[in-house]
Amino acid sequence: MLAIGGRAPEFTLPDQDGQSRSLSTLLRAGPLILYFYPADFTPGCTREACTIRDLHDDIAQAGLNVAGVSPQSPKSHRKFREKYQLPYTLLSDADKFVIRMYDVQGPLGFGVRRGTYLIDQARYIRSAILADFRISRHEDFIRKAVALSAVSSAARKPA
């Protein structure tokens, strides 16, 4: 995984609709939870995606955004997103360029490890977790990111 405190590498990937999305564009709306997952429609990835979906209102209220990255096509992502009513962006990294850039490729370059980053609007990595099959650790990570963001945004509001 990339180091906490380091800059998140810029990238541009197609989303579920085939539209190009860059990291900078995703960050315009606020800090980003960027998660990497092996494949659409697998049991573990579906569970993770639906857990994030179920937390989405809290995530949005804390001023955070979400994007998922995996090697499947935009068409696969669109079907996955529609079937499970996922309210966030899914990005297609068919050649695994960004997956390698973010150091979440599987052993010997095969597959994708389940990794999640919290990236602030200046592109700094504020937190990260690599938990592979321990999906509940990703949920805990996201809940903590939401709590921290809610506290820091409350502190920025004038009294």
Catalytic residues: 45
Quote the CA–CA distance of 52 and 20 in Å, as a whole number: 23
5: Cβ contacts below 8 Å, ≥ 6 apart: 124, 125
Tokens of 129: 């977790």
89-92 and 65-70 strand pairing: parallel
